[in-house]
Amino acid sequence: MKEKKGFTLVEVMIVAAIIGLILAIAIPNFVKARETAQQNVCVQNMRQIMTATQVWSIDLKKAGTDVPTTGDLVDNYMRKWPACPKSGAAYEPQAVSANPVCPTDPVNHHL
């Protein structure tokens, strides 16, 4: 007599249910981790812009209301102008006394 080898339908269904349960738990956590990482990168970008603006204002004796251009900051105080990691939109230079603003999500991404 020949023995059959393999999995029964019930065993396959149990494995599929377990995998589905693991995915149902893991996917929201991955989405939240990605959003948190994007927010952290955005805040770091804004901090870098703010620091470059402050150094620019000190070097050139600018007032708090002066606004640098991206050309004033890039190459002299920054390697390149950053973009928002969430949308790729460019940050707008702000006055020396103002904090940079996220072009995509200014409510959640702030200094």
pLDDT in tens, 71-95: 999 999 999 999 988 888 999 999 9
Domain of 64, in residue numbers: 10-105
Residue 2 domain-assigned (yes or no): no
DSSP letter for each residue of 22-65: HHHHHHHHHHHHHHHHHHHHHHHHHHHHHHHHHHHHHHTT--TT
Task: Decide if 17 is inside a domain.
Answer: yes
Residue 111 lies in a domain: no
Residue 90 lies in a domain: yes
The rounded average pLDDT for each run of 10 residues, N- to C-terminus, in the chain (111 residues) is: 80 95 93 92 94 95 93 92 90 92 85 80
How far is Cα 62 from Cα 103, in angstroms, rounded to an integer?
25
For residue 77, being part of any structural domain is answered with: yes
Residue 56 domain-assigned? yes
User: Could you tell me if residue 110 is inside a domain?
Assistant: no
What's the whole-model pTM score?
0.77
Does 4 map to a domain? no
Domain count, the chain: 1
pLDDT at 31: 92
